[in-house]
């Protein structure tokens, strides 16, 4: 188990990595980095445009470069993209440089949360449930292997989910090392 002061959030699309990640960063007094937003900031265009111009391979290359850069920074909370775990180098960086929290969610929850979201290029398909299931089949074993802590997904507010994450992280962290610095303690 890695009780690093870096927190890395992984999980499927719609798990709440950005929303919950922001709250965790605030709680622990860490700067928040959303990997997809950083890709957009560095490219000057949205993720869809990156996919249109460079394809998924180009996007993944940019994602890996930025994950490497940001995961080297001490004291950061990094919310990865759902597919960032697909690259072996990314998995190695996450495992070696931080404490990895897997936000779990069900396909039903993803469909509900992403119902009006049309910004995600990998979900621009006629059969979203089938695509989400295929992604889960491929990625869940990777999430499971990489995670220092798995946080079960439940219905409820972002605030409630964030508090549940904080409680689980603190409890888990206390078993392996002193708790991380708390900004709001």
Q: DSSP letters along 91-138, please? A: HHHHHHHSEEEEE---HHHHHHHTTT----GGG-SS-HHHHHHHHHHH
- The structural domains of the chain, with segments of one domain joined by +, span 7-176
Question: How far apart, in whole angstroms, are the C-alpha atoms of residue 87 and residue 90?
Answer: 5
CATH of 7-176 among 1.10.10.60, 3.90.1170.20, 3.30.390.30, 3.40.50.300: 3.40.50.300
According to the annotation, is 98 in a ligand binding site? no
For residue 179, the model assigns a pLDDT of 47
According to the annotation, is 26 in a ligand binding site? no
According to the annotation, is 148 in a ligand binding site? no
Residue with tokens 């850069």: 69
According to the annotation, is 87 in a ligand binding site? no
Least trusted range by pLDDT, from 73-77, 78-82, 145-149, 158-162: 158-162
The answer to whether the beta carbons of residues 100 and 149 sit under 8 Å apart is yes
According to the annotation, is 14 in a ligand binding site? yes
According to the annotation, is 36 in a ligand binding site? yes
pLDDT tens digits, 72-90:
999 999 999 999 999 999 9
Asked if pLDDT for residue 1 goes beyond 80, the answer is no
- The token pair at 135 is 């992604």
According to the annotation, is 18 in a ligand binding site? yes
Residue with tokens 């009006």: 116
According to the annotation, is 17 in a ligand binding site? yes
Query: How does residue 173 score in pLDDT terms, banded at 50, 70 and 90?
Result: confident
């Amino acid at each position: 188990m890695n009780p690093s002061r870096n927190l890395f959030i992984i999980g499927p699309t719609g798990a709440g990595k950005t929303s919950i990640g922001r709250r965790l960063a605030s709680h622990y007094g860490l700067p928040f980095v959303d990997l997809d937003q950083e890709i957009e900031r560095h490219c000057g265009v949205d993720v869809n445009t990156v996919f249109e111009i460079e394809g998924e391979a180009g996007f993944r290359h940019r994602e890996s470069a930025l994950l490497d850069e940001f995961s080297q920074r001490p004291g950061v909370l990094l919310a990865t993209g759902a597919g960032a775990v697909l690259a072996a180098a990314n998995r190695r960086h996450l495992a070696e440089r931080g404490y990895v929290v897997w936000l779990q969610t069900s396909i039903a929850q993803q469909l509900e949360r992403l119902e009006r979201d049309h910004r995600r290029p990998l979900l621009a398909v006629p059969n979203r449930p089938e695509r989400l299931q295929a992604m889960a089949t491929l990625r869940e074993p990777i999430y499971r292997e990489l995670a220092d802590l798995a946080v079960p997904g439940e219905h409820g507010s972002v605030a409630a989910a964030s508090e549940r994450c904080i409680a689980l992280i603190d409890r888990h962290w206390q078993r392996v090392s002193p708790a991380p610095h708390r900004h709001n303690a």
